[in-house]
Amino acid sequence: MNAVMAELWPYFLLVLVGFLPNEIWRALGMVMARGLNEDSEVVVWSRAVATAILAGVIAKLILFAPGALAGVPLALRVGAAACGFAAFLAAKRSLFIGVAVGEAVLLAGGALVAH
Amino acid sequence: MAVRSVTSNSQAFFGGVTVALTSVFHLVIGGTYIGIGALAHDFGFSAGWMAFCTVLVWAGPAQVILISALGSGAPLVEAAIAVSLSGLRLLPMVVALLPLLRREGTRLRDLLLPTHFTSVSMWVESLRLLPAMPREHRIAMCNGIATGLMGVAVTYGFAGFYLAAGLPRLFAGGLLFLTPVSFLLSTARNARAMVDKLALLFGLALAPLLVALHVQLDLMWSGVVGGTLAYGIHRVREAAT
């Protein structure tokens, strides 16, 4: 019984902590689909909050890196992200070029540090 | 694709799948989910859990938050609040999408799938393509686009998961780096208005600061404080002009 519980626990958490808190906004959106428009003030504010929280996640993943990424020095992680961002701007906001340059800097730097 | 020549729902559905596979979002979602799969692996989740997570949550940022929060042992309430705040942006998307799909006689249950499928990528592609479609086939096409994108996400999620398990450490680190760097750039690309750019900047600066200050619920506060600050500046600037 305990083994089954241990197996199912992550799925229980997935529904409780991941699915429901996220899905509620879709359900609410369905209810509110008449009446709100994209430029209303509540929508602008909620988009700003959503953007800021996502930015917070990005910063934490780079600064307090998980798993194998923690093996790459902090300065290199920040530098690679900055290079990727600069390339993205220079290449007319191309996601592909920005991500490719960021990754290239990270991998090349990581290889140099290792030797 | 000749969108106007669509005459049946199955044609519309598979047309949508084709759109998804040939869209630029194939690359973006592929890269993102390789990263998320690698993240799930490194935080100790199973590949099956990761696939369920993609199908049920179907929102990259929420999945990143969920995996890193649960994986690092954050309090469940904090994880749920952070996930919920990141999902807030889905509300206005659903509100904008459904009027495009609805017609006389559309039943509520026909809108359940498109509602669950709503995500940034599906929303952008749907709003781009659906207006040119006959109204009676829009729901099928919308579901096709989302099914294609979700299939891409699940597949690349598995790829990232097993690559992270087998790759040399540096390359596994490079896979994990895909998540923050692709989110950073796609968020910057979507931030056209000043308020969104400010929110991005404030969020980037606030979260590490709050962590350093040992503030509880750091993600929630960086969202609420950073977003409200950006919104306030936007209002003051609008009032001044």
pLDDT at B7 over 90: no
Residue ranges of domains in chain B:
8-186, 191-241
Contact A69 B63 (CB under 8 A): no
- What string of DSSP letters covers B189-232? HH--SHHHHHHHHHHHHHHHHHHHTT-TTHHHHHHHHHHHHHHH
A-B C-beta contacts closer than 8 Å: 320
Mean pLDDT, residues B65-70 taken together: 90
List chain A domain ranges.
1-34, 36-64, 66-115
Query: A22 vs chain B: nearest CA distance in angstroms?
Result: 5
Q: Answer whether B31 sits within 8 Å of A114, measured CB to CB.
A: no
Residues A57, B87: C-beta atoms closer than 8 Å:
no
Q: How much is the pLDDT for A34?
A: 67
CB contact under 8 A, A84 and B53: no
> Is B86 close to A81, i.e. CB distance below 8 A?
no
Residues 120-149 of B with CB under 8 A from A: none
- Contact criterion met (CB < 8 Å) for B180 and A61: yes
Q: Which residues of B151-179 are buried (b: 16+ CB within 10 A; e: fewer)?
A: ebbbbbbbbbbebbeebebbbbbbbbbbb
Report the pLDDT averaged over residues B10-23.
Answer: 92
Residue A39 — very low, low, confident or very high, per pLDDT cuts 50/70/90?
Answer: low
Residue with tokens 């359940």: B112
Residue A92, burial from CB neighbour count under 10 angstroms (0-12, 13-18, 19+): exposed
pLDDT exceeds cutoff 90 at B161? yes
Cβ neighbours of residue B204 under 8 Å, at least 6 residues apart?
A55, A56, A58, A59
pLDDT higher for B108 or A85?
A85
Average pLDDT, chain B: 89
ipTM of the complex: 0.85
**Chain A interface mutation, best of B42, B185, B229, highest count of A Cβ atoms under 10 Å:** B185
Check A29 against B89: CB less than 8 A apart.
Answer: no
Percent of chain B with pLDDT over 70: 98
Which chain B residues are Cβ-neighbours of A22 within 8 angstroms?
A: 57, 59, 62, 83-84, 86-87, 90
What whole-number distance in Å separates Cα of residue B190 and Cα of residue B136? 30
- Judged by CB atoms closer than 8 Å, whether chains meet at B202 and A24 is answered as no
| B residues 20-59 closer than 8 Å to A (CB) | 24, 27-28, 31, 38-39, 41-43, 45-46, 49, 52-53, 56-57, 59
Query: B8 — phi, psi (to 5°)?
Result: -135, 165
pLDDT at A54 over 90: no
The one-letter amino acid code at A31 reads V
Separation between Cα atoms, residue B95 and residue B135, nearest integer Å: 17
